[in-house]
Structure 1
Amino acid sequence: MKKIKIAIIAGAVAISGFVSFGFVDNYFELSKNLDIFATLYKEVNTYYVDETKPGELMKTGIDAMLKSLDPYTNFIPESQIEDFKFMTTGQYGGIGALIHKDGDHVVISEPYEGFPAYNADLKAGDILIEVDGKKVSGKSTSEISEALKGQPNTVVKLLIERPGTKGNLNIDLTRKEIKIDDVPYAGMLNEKVGYIRLTSFTQTASKQVIDALNKLKKEHNAQSIVFDLRGNGGGLLNESINIVNAFVPKGTMVVQTKGKISEWDATYRTLNAPVDTEIPVVVLVDDHSASASEIVSGSLQDLDRAVIVGDRTFGKGLVQQTRRLSYNAQLKVTVAKYYIPSGRCIQKIDYAHRDKDGDAPIVADSLIVPYKTLVNKRTVYDGKGINPDIKVEERDASNITAVLVTKYHIFDYATQYRLNHESIAPASEFHLTDKEYDDFIAYLSDKNITYETETEKQLKKLKEVATKEKYFQLADEEYKSLEDKLVLDKSGDLMKFKDEIKEILENEIISRYYFQKGRIQASLNNDPTVSKAIEILGNKEIYTGILKGTYTKN
C-alpha cells in the first residue's frame, strides 16, 4: 500500500509540474539568481580594494534593478518611511515652511499659515544660519529639511539672519504635526462661477473638495464650477473615485484595474450619494496632471459629465501598491494598469518594450485606439494621457523671466518690498505701478541677469559649421552685425516682457502678505486657461455643444 501511495503522490507532482512548468522554471530562475547575487555581494564586500558601505551598495543595486522596470517601482528604506507617509497623508512633524538654496544660503521660501514657522513670525527671505547649533552653510536643502523635521512637541532652535535687521535672531520653535491642505484655495471667479484648486490626493482630498463644493454652492450660490487639477501629480486611487462621486450618481463605474495576477483585477464604483449631478463643471489640466488627476478628468470626460480644458495630461495609467519588507522597509511596486469608463488606458510610455539602449518608447500613433464616451458617444483615445476637449497651451516664460526667477532676483526684490511696505491692497486688487516696476529695473542694475537665447545658440552653431566648412570668412562682417543687433535687442527684454515679469513679481509680493492662498487668487486674474473656462461656462450652448460633440469653433 505504501508503494501505491507513493506512486500516486509522485504522479500528482508530475501532473502539477506539467501544468505549472512555467512557474517551477521561473522559481528555479529566481532561486539561482538570488544565490548568484548573494555570493557576488559577499565577495565584493570581502575583497574589493577599498572599504565598502554594504548598506549603500545594496541600495544602489536595488535602485538600479527597479529602475529597469519603471520610475514608479521604488525601494523605500526605513529611513525614508516618514517622507513616503507624507506623500499619502500630507502629514509630517516639523515647523511648516518651504525652503530653498540660494548660493551658499538656505532660505525660507514661505511659511505655511497657522503652523509653527508662521506663528513664530518667520518670514520668506529669512536666511538659516544654524539649526540646533549646527552650521547650515554647505548643507543641502534635503539635509536641512531633515534637521527641521522631527516628532511633534519637540523643540528646534534656529539662528537666522533677516534682511534689513541688524544682528542675528534666535528663534525656538516647537514642532507640530503639519498637514498640508489638498485644497489650498477655493473661491468665486465671478458672481456665478466657483473655483476649486486641488494640488494632491492624500487621505483628506475628497473631503476637502466636497466641503469646498458645498460651501461655494450654499454660501456663494455658485452655479458652475472650475475644478483645477493643473500640476497635480496624483496620489490615492480611492480619493479620485470619491471626488468623481461628488458629480455622478452612486453606483457609477469610475475605473477598473487589471494586473498580472487576479488579486489586482478590480472594478471601482461610486459608493455615496453625489453632491450635485447637474452643476456644469470645467476641469483644468496640463502636462503635469497625472495618475489620480487623470482618473478624475478622464472619467468625467468619458461619462460626459465635465468639459476638460487645458493641455494634454502626463499619461500615467499605472497603479502602485506598497509591500512590506524586512527591517521596516517597503517596496512600492506597479501592480496593475487602470482603465477609465470608456475602456481606455491612457498610459503613454511602454516600459515593457525598451529599445537596445534601455529607453522606454512612447506609444506609437499607429497603436492609438479610439473609444466612445458613455452617454454622447464622442470619440476619445487611449495612450498619451487625456486630451482636453478644448486645448489652451501653457504660456512659455521668456528667457529673461526664467533668469529672474531661477536666480531669485524676483524673490529677493519681494523680500525688500515687504520690508518697505507694511501692507498692500487685497490679493485680487494689488498691482505694481509703472514707477515701482522702474524701481525693480534699477534694483537689477548690479545683478547678474546674463542669459543666452535660443537664437544666440543657433547663431553660434552656424558659426561653428561655417568655420569648419571654411565659409565663415565670407560672412564675417554680416555675422558680427547680426550678433550686435541681437545683443542690443536683448538689452530691452525687461521692457519687452514687462507684463509677464510684472505678473510674476506681483504674485511673489502678494505671497509675502497673503501667502499661498493670495498667490493663487492673484494668479487667476491673468490666467488664459481660467478665462477660457469662464467663457465656456458662461455660454450654455457652447458648454452643452462640447459635451455632445456638436460644438465647432468659429
Structure 2
Amino acid sequence: MRKLPLLLCGVALGATAALVVTQPRIFLGGANAAVTDTYKQLNLFGDVFERVRADYVEQPDDGKLVEAAVNGMLASLDPHSSYMDGKSFQDMQVQTRGEFGGLGIEVTMEDNVLKVVTPIDDTPAAKAGILSGDLIIALDGDQIQGLTLQQAVEKMRGPVNSPITLKIKRAGKDDPFDVKIVRDVIRIKSVRSKVEGDDVGYIRITQFTEQTFDGLKASIEKLNKDIPANKFKGYVIDLRNNPGGLLDQAIAVSNAFLDRGEIVSTRGRNPDDIQRFSARPGGDLSAGKPVIVLVNGGSASASEIVAGALQDHKRATILGTRSFGKGSVQTIIPLNGNGALRLTTARYYTPSGRSIQAKGIEPEIEVKQNVPDDLKGKDETKGEAGLKGHLESQDKKEEGGSSAYVPADEKDDTQLKAALDLLRGAQKSAFFPPDQKTAVPN
C-alpha cells in the first residue's frame, strides 16, 4: 500500500503532461482563466485570515487558524479525506505497521482509571503478572485521573528497553502495589485462529496491518497441522467489524484463497488512472478447501475487497449481513515533515466491475443475530451511505447500514453457527458451495 500512492501520482502526472503538450492552445487558455479565478479565491482567504488576526476579540493562534481552514476544506470533500498533524500521522503509521514499543496490554477507561481488558500473551505485561480486571491508577507516580484514554495509552508506549512503573489496584488485595515493566516491541495480532470442533479452521482477521498476511499464512499452516486432512471440512474467515486497513494486505489475503484472476481494480478521476491487481499463480494456501466469509455492518474497505473478490470468483460463500459500503481508496501524502494529507483518490471495483461505494457487499446467505433488547436499534451502523458528505454511488442506488452486533459468547453467535452447520453438512443452501460456472472469467 505504501507504494500505491507514488504509483497513482505518477500516472496522474504523466496524463496531465501529455494533455498539455498535445493541446497547448485549448488547455493553456482554460488553465490561465482557472488560475485567475483560483487566485481571487485565495485572496479572499487571505483577506479573511488577516481580518481575524487583526480584529478578533482575543489573539488567535495562526497555526490553529490555518489548520482549521485546511480541515474545513478537506471535510467539504468526503468523510475520509482529512489532514493529520505530525502526532496523528505518527499514530496512523504505528497502527498500520502493527507494532510499537509498549507493554502489551489492552485497556479501557473505567471510573477515571485504566482497567486491563487483557494482557497480550508473551509480552512484558503478561510476564510481569498483569491480570485481566487489574486497575491501573498511576504511571511513573503520575495519577491516571484527569487523563483521556488516548493520553494514558501514549504514556505507556515508548522506546524499547525503557522502564515504566504501574501502580496496580487488584481485587482481593487491600493496598495498591507497584509493578515495574520494561517496554518491548509489541506486535498487534490482527489474525487469530483456532480449530472449531475437530474439523473446521476458524480465522478471525481484525484489521489489515503490515503483519496481516504473515499472520494468516501462519494460521493456515497451524490449522493444517492440527486438523487431519481427512477430517478438514473447510475455513470460516471472520471479517465482522473489521474496519479495513492496507490495500496490499487485502490483496495478499485474497490471493491466499485464489491462484488466478483479478482481485481488485482502482479507478481515479482520469480515464487513465486505472490499476488492476491480480492473484499470483501458486499463491493459494487453502488447497481448494471450502470457505465461508462472515461479514456484517462493521466490515469495511479492505474487508469488502476480500469479500468481493472471493464472492465474484465463487471461491467463497458470504454469510451475515450487508457490509459497510466504503468503496473508496485514500492516499496518504506526507507534507514536508508537517503531518500528512489523507486524500480520497480513487474508487475500487470488485473483479466483476462492481463499485460497492455506499452499497456494500450483499451476502448470499443473510443471517441476523439475536440482538439483546437493550441493544436493539443501537446495533445498526449507518453505513457509508449514512455518512454526511459521502462519495455518492455512481448509479445513485444506495443502501444503508446493517447490524454490527456479535455476541461475546460464541454459543449465542447465530452467524458462526450457520457457517459451521453449512461446512459440516448439517444445513443446506443453494449458495453453498458456490456455483463455479457463474464466476467471473479469470
- TM bucket, shorter chain: 0.7 to 0.9
Deviation at 1:286, TM superposition (A): 0.5
Number of the residue aligned with 1:470: none
TM-score, normalised with respect to structure 1 = 0.65
Matched, 1:535 2:421: yes
**Pairing 1:133-152 to 2, within 5 Å after superposition:** 133-152=141-160
Distance in 2 between residues matched to 1:25 and 1:144, nearest whole Å: 52
Number of the residue aligned with 1:359: none
- Residue 95 of structure 1 contacts residue 176 of structure 1 at CA under 8 Å; is this kept in 2? yes
- Residue 318 of structure 1 contacts residue 337 of structure 1 at CA under 8 Å; is this kept in 2? yes
Matched, 1:120 2:7: no
Deviation at 1:105, TM superposition (A): 2.6
- Residue 82 of structure 1 contacts residue 92 of structure 1 at CA under 8 Å; is this kept in 2? no
**Pairing 1:486-505 to 2, within 5 Å after superposition:** none
- Residue 314 of structure 2 contacts residue 436 of structure 2 at CA under 8 Å; is this kept in 1? no
Instruction: State the aligned residue count.
Output: 386
For residue 135 of structure 1, what is the amino acid of its counterpart?
A: Q
For residue 64 of structure 1, give the secondary structure of its aligned residue in structure 2: helix
Matched, 1:246 2:256: yes
Deviation at 1:264, TM superposition (A): 4.1
- Residue 290 of structure 1 contacts residue 313 of structure 1 at CA under 8 Å; is this kept in 2? yes
CA deviations 1:393-413 (Å, max 9, x no partner) are 13322229999xxxxxxxxxx
Distance in 2 between residues matched to 1:283 and 1:545, nearest whole Å: 12
Distance 1:121 1:17, change over 3 A: farther
Number of the residue aligned with 1:548: 435
Number of the residue aligned with 1:259: 268
Deviation at 1:226, TM superposition (A): 0.7
Number of the residue aligned with 1:366: none
Deviation at 1:191, TM superposition (A): 2.6
For residue 434 of structure 2, give the secondary structure of its aligned residue in structure 1: helix
CA deviations 1:175-218 (Å, max 9, x no partner) are 222111111x2122123211111111111212211221232123
Deviation at 1:307, TM superposition (A): 0.5
- Residue 148 of structure 1 contacts residue 156 of structure 1 at CA under 8 Å; is this kept in 2? yes
Which stretches of structure 1, 4 residues or longer, exceed 6 Å deviation after superposition? 12-15, 400-403
- Residue 537 of structure 1 contacts residue 543 of structure 1 at CA under 8 Å; is this kept in 2? no
Distance 1:14 1:48, change over 3 A: farther
Matched, 1:162 2:170: yes
Distance 1:243 1:319, change over 3 A: same
Alignment RMSD: 2.8
The structure 2 residue matched to 1:102, chosen from 95, 101, 110, is 110
Number of the residue aligned with 1:62: 70
Deviation at 1:103, TM superposition (A): 2.5
Distance in 1 between residues matched to 2:343 and 2:320, nearest whole Å: 31
CA deviations 1:501-526 (Å, max 9, x no partner) are xx97xx6xxxxxxxxxxxxxxx4333
Distance 1:163 1:31, change over 3 A: farther
Distance in 2 between residues matched to 1:224 and 1:175, nearest whole Å: 39
Distance 1:214 1:30, change over 3 A: farther
The structure 1 residue matched to 2:181, chosen from 173, 186, 196, is 173
- Residue 256 of structure 2 contacts residue 286 of structure 2 at CA under 8 Å; is this kept in 1? yes
Number of the residue aligned with 2:330: 320
Distance 1:322 1:81, change over 3 A: same
- Residue 307 of structure 1 contacts residue 543 of structure 1 at CA under 8 Å; is this kept in 2? no
Number of the residue aligned with 2:295: 285
Identity of aligned residues (%): 31
- Residue 249 of structure 1 contacts residue 277 of structure 1 at CA under 8 Å; is this kept in 2? no
**Pairing 1:389-468 to 2, within 5 Å after superposition:** 389-399=364-374
Deviation at 1:15, TM superposition (A): 6.5
For residue 208 of structure 2, what is the amino acid of its counterpart?
A: F
For residue 326 of structure 1, give the secondary structure of its aligned residue in structure 2: coil
Deviation at 1:531, TM superposition (A): 1.0
- Could you say which structure has the larger radius of gyration? 1
Matched, 1:89 2:64: no
For residue 327 of structure 1, give the secondary structure of its aligned residue in structure 2: coil
- What are structure 2's unaligned runs of at least 5 residues? 1-19, 379-405, 438-442
Distance in 2 between residues matched to 1:240 and 1:148, nearest whole Å: 30
Distance 1:234 1:545, change over 3 A: closer
Distance in 1 between residues matched to 2:342 and 2:21, nearest whole Å: 35
Distance 1:297 1:402, change over 3 A: closer
- Residue 319 of structure 2 contacts residue 415 of structure 2 at CA under 8 Å; is this kept in 1? yes
Distance in 2 between residues matched to 1:400 and 1:181, nearest whole Å: 28
Higher strand proportion (structure 1 or 2): 2
- Residue 290 of structure 2 contacts residue 433 of structure 2 at CA under 8 Å; is this kept in 1? no
Deviation at 1:277, TM superposition (A): 5.3
Distance in 2 between residues matched to 1:247 and 1:13, nearest whole Å: 45
- What are structure 1's unaligned runs of at least 5 residues? 1-11, 349-383, 404-502, 508-522
For residue 174 of structure 2, what is the amino acid of its counterpart?
A: K
Distance in 2 between residues matched to 1:385 and 1:14, nearest whole Å: 40
Deviation at 1:29, TM superposition (A): 3.7
For residue 341 of structure 2, give the secondary structure of its aligned residue in structure 1: strand
For residue 241 of structure 1, what is the amino acid of its counterpart?
A: I
- Residue 96 of structure 1 contacts residue 116 of structure 1 at CA under 8 Å; is this kept in 2? yes
Higher helix proportion (structure 1 or 2): 1
Distance in 2 between residues matched to 1:158 and 1:401, nearest whole Å: 39
Matched, 1:192 2:199: yes
Larger relative contact order, structure 1 or 2 (CA cutoff 8 Å, min sep 6): 2
- Residue 105 of structure 2 contacts residue 119 of structure 2 at CA under 8 Å; is this kept in 1? yes
Distance in 2 between residues matched to 1:308 and 1:337, nearest whole Å: 22
The structure 2 residue matched to 1:268, chosen from 268, 277, 281, is 277
Number of the residue aligned with 1:518: none
Distance 1:178 1:31, change over 3 A: farther
Number of the residue aligned with 2:240: 230
- Residue 85 of structure 1 contacts residue 91 of structure 1 at CA under 8 Å; is this kept in 2? no
Matched, 1:388 2:363: yes
Distance 1:86 1:543, change over 3 A: farther
- Residue 159 of structure 1 contacts residue 170 of structure 1 at CA under 8 Å; is this kept in 2? yes
Deviation at 1:86, TM superposition (A): 2.3
The structure 2 residue matched to 1:220, chosen from 224, 227, 231, is 227
Distance 1:97 1:265, change over 3 A: same
Number of the residue aligned with 1:450: none
Distance in 2 between residues matched to 1:64 and 1:164, nearest whole Å: 51
Number of the residue aligned with 1:331: 341
Distance 1:547 1:114, change over 3 A: same
CA deviations 1:64-113 (Å, max 9, x no partner) are 22122112112111122221012311122222222222233332222222
Distance in 2 between residues matched to 1:145 and 1:402, nearest whole Å: 31
Distance in 1 between residues matched to 2:131 and 2:47, nearest whole Å: 54
For residue 337 of structure 2, give the secondary structure of its aligned residue in structure 1: helix
For residue 164 of structure 2, give the secondary structure of its aligned residue in structure 1: strand
Deviation at 1:259, TM superposition (A): 0.2
For residue 40 of structure 1, what is the amino acid of its counterpart?
A: V
Bigger mean CA deviation after superposition, 168-177 or 41-50: 41-50
Deviation at 1:122, TM superposition (A): 1.9
Distance 1:400 1:24, change over 3 A: closer
